[in-house]
Amino acid sequence: MSNINQLFNKELKVINMGLKSFAEDLKSQEVKVLHVDWRPPAGGNKRMAALLAKLKK
């Protein structure tokens, strides 16, 4: 059986990343959901990273 068909027979257990309301909606329907407090990765290119590293010393 494909993974998709297996999913059709299972309880949904959800990880939510982004809009919190999607997690709240699921929670209100008693679906298992874990919301991730996602933040964008710290930006910077290699040269900048090197610069910062130098300053940190």
Partner 1 sequence: MGLSIRVRKNTYYDSVTLMLISKEVKKLEGVNEVLVGMGTDLNKELAQNLGLANDEINQLGPNDFFISVLSDTDDIINEIAIRVDELLNQKKDADGDEYIPPTFDSAVKFAPDSNFVIISLPGQYAYAEVKKALNNNMHVLLFSDNVKIEEEKELKELAREKGLLMMGPDCGTAIINNVPLAFANVVKKGNIGVVGASGTGTQEVTVLIDKLGAGVSQVIGTGGRDLSKDIGGIMMIEGIKALAKDPNTEVIVLISKPPAAEIAERVLSEAKQAGKPFVVNFIGGNPEVIKQYGGIPGVSLEDTARKAVALSRKETAVETEEYGEDEASLKEIAAREVKKLKKGQKYLRGIYTGGTLCDEAMKLLAGEIGGIYSNIPLEPQYKLENVFVSQQHTCVDLGDDEFTVGRAHPMIDPTMRQERLVKEADDDEVAVVLMDFVLGYGANSDPAGEMLPYILKAKEKMEAKGKAIIFVGYVCGTDKDPQGLKQQEDKLREAGVILMPSNAQAVKLTKALLKAASE
Partner 2 sequence: MKALEMCINTKKLLDSRGRLQGYVHSVFNRVCNIVTKDELLIPVISSHVPNTPRFISLSLPIKNSIKSLGLKEGMEIVFEHNLLRSLEGSFSLDLSEAKIWDARPIFNIDGMAEFKLLNNLEILYKTLIKCGKLNGIAPICQALSAELVSDSRHGFQMVSNHYSSFILPRMGKLIAAFKAENMDLVRSYAKQIVGFGPGLTPSADDFLTGFMAASLYMANYHGRPLEAVYRLNSGIVVEAEFRTTKVSSEMLTFAAKGEVSENVRSMLLALFSESSEEILVNTIHSVINNGETSGSDLIAGAYIGCILSI
Residue ranges binding partner 1 (CB under 8 A): 1-5, 7-8, 10-19, 21-23, 25-26, 28-29, 31-32, 34-41
Q: Which of 53, 14, 51 is nearest to 36 (CA)?
A: 14
Site string for partner 2, 30-49 (x = CB under 8 A): ---------xxxxxxx-xx-
Single-letter amino acid code for the residue at 10: K
Question: From residue 13, how far is each of 10, 25, 40, 42 by CA, in Å?
Answer: 9, 14, 24, 29
Check binding of 9 to partner 2 (CB under 8 A): no
Check binding of 53 to partner 2 (CB under 8 A): no
